[in-house]
Amino acid sequence: MDRREFLKKMIALGIGTGAMFMPGGLKRMTSPAFGEREFPDLVAVKGGSAGEMFDRGMKAIGGIGRFVRKGQNVVIKPNISWDVPANGAANTSPELVAGVIKHCLDAGAGKVFVMDHSIEYWENSSKNSGIGDAIKGAGGIYVPSDGKGYYQAVPVKGSALKETMVHESILECDVLISVPVLKHHGGAGVSISSKGLMGCVWNRRDYHAQGLQRCIADFLSFRKPDLNIIDAVSVITKNGPRGGSPSDVVNMGSLVISPDVVAADTAGAMMLGHKQGGIEHIRLAAGAGLGEMDLSKLRIERITL
């Protein structure tokens, strides 16, 4: 180490130490968002098409680059459960799924997979909903999920769920982005991000047998999405989660984006008319410290296009 190098290092060390004593310095340096400006915890957008609202909303939340690094493999988990026509409100909008894939690929993601363990026959669901074509068009990979062999049993530290079979793409991905569609659910009350993650699991019947609400919350202790993007454009407000008649659907024309699954679900449930904490599985997840249910504590950006 020569004199010049020694001086350089001392100066660098001095600046670094000094920064720690600045207001909030240590906290900021150790937070994952260090090096970025402060972004809102939750963004709610309305008044445009799903694609437009997504582009604007992502800009506000800090861009997909905050969540997806170069070369990382991403799994996108939309709702492709139902064999219903495109934009039938039971599945996520194909336009939004395509938008998320494109943002990830633009940010330099390695591979972008899309998975959902569909409830109705997968081929019809992906084809008739238009999501299959949207995935292909945007450059994503639709992974098969219609056989037990694609799933692995994993231990879960939950109050009801001790073990479940999770799709291998979820186990291996670097980044999980949940892109649910907001809707009413006859059993769970609402189906948003955390309920939608049941689509990562093979043995869903066990959830119902062991306690649906607790199992939904328990799964989050195994894996939380890194980003939640809620499609609230056309929303099934009754007879969910499949709907069936046009009178089941209300146009909300909105989108909610948040890295906090509990906050995102709370916002969605409130849009469906529930009180904060009115849905059991969201309340249980918040109680287990898996996210923030009290939206008054969060920084929320509301955008109208």
Partner 1 sequence: MAEPGRRGRAGYRAAFLVRMFAAAVCLALFSLFFLGMIRAGDPFGDMMNWQFSARAIGVGMTGGAVVLFFAASLIAGRVFCSVFCPMGAIQEFLWRASAGLGAARKKYVKPWKARYLIVALAAAGIIFAVSPLFSLTDPIANFGRGITSFALLAGGENVPVVFASVFLVILIFSCVKGRRFCDWCPAGTIMGFASSVSVFGLKLDEEGCVSCGVCERACPMNCADAGGKKIDRGRCVLCMGCAASCPGSFISFGRVVTASSRDGRRNFIKNVCGIIMGIGYMGGRNARQFMLSNGIIASRAGSSAIVPPGAMDEENFLSRCVGCAACAAACPVGIIRLTGNAHPRLVYGESYCQYNCVECGKVCPTNAIARLDVETKRKTRIALSRLNISLCVVTAKKQACGACAEVCPTHALVMESYDNGLGLTIPSFDEEYCIGCGACLSVCPAEPVAFKVRGVPVQTITPGIRQSQENEDFGVKPMAADDDFPF
Residue 57's identity, in one-letter code, is G
Specify whether the CB–CB gap between 216 and 206 falls below 8 A.
Answer: no
Q: Which is nearer to partner 1, 140 or 189 (CB)?
A: 189
Q: Which is nearer to partner 1, 112 or 262 (CB)?
A: 262
For the chain, how many residues are written? Answer: 305
* Torsion angle defined by CA atoms of residues 238, 249, 270 and 198, in that order, rounded to the nearest 10 degrees: 70
Strands, E assignment, the chain: 42-46, 74-78, 112-114, 141-142, 151-155, 163-167, 175-179, 181-185, 189-191, 227-236, 249-258, 300-304
Q: Which is nearer to partner 1, 155 or 187 (CB)?
A: 187
Work out how close the CB of 162 gets to partner 1 at its nearest, in angstroms, rounded to a whole number. 16
Q: Which is nearer to partner 1, 75 or 267 (CB)?
A: 267
Q: Where is 15: in which H helix or E strand?
A: helix 3-20
> Which SS3 state, helix, strand or coil, does residue 239 take?
coil
Q: Which is nearer to partner 1, 75 or 282 (CB)?
A: 282
Work out how close the CB of 42 gets to partner 1 at its nearest, in angstroms, rounded to a whole number. 8
Work out how close the CB of 128 gets to partner 1 at its nearest, in angstroms, rounded to a whole number. 7
Distances (CA, A) of 136 to 28, 97, 102, 231, 267: 40, 11, 11, 20, 31
Q: Which is nearer to partner 1, 137 or 244 (CB)?
A: 244
Work out how close the CB of 123 gets to partner 1 at its nearest, in angstroms, rounded to a whole number. 7
Specify whether the CB–CB gap between 182 and 232 falls below 8 A.
Answer: yes
Q: Which is nearer to partner 1, 72 or 79 (CB)?
A: 79
Paired sense of beta strands 227-236 and 175-179, if any? parallel
Work out how close the CB of 39 gets to partner 1 at its nearest, in angstroms, rounded to a whole number. 18
Q: Write out the residues near partner 1 by the rule CB under 8 A.
A: 44, 46, 83, 119-121, 123-124, 128, 184-189, 204-209, 211-213, 235, 237-242, 244-245, 247, 250-254, 266-267, 270-274, 276, 278, 280, 295, 300, 302
Work out how close the CB of 124 gets to partner 1 at its nearest, in angstroms, rounded to a whole number. 6
Work out how close the CB of 158 gets to partner 1 at its nearest, in angstroms, rounded to a whole number. 14
Burial class (CB in 10 A: 0-12, 13-18, 19+), 305: middle
Work out how close the CB of 6 gets to partner 1 at its nearest, in angstroms, rounded to a whole number. 55
Q: Which is nearer to partner 1, 18 or 85 (CB)?
A: 85
Residue 286 phi/psi, 5° resolution?
A: -65, -40
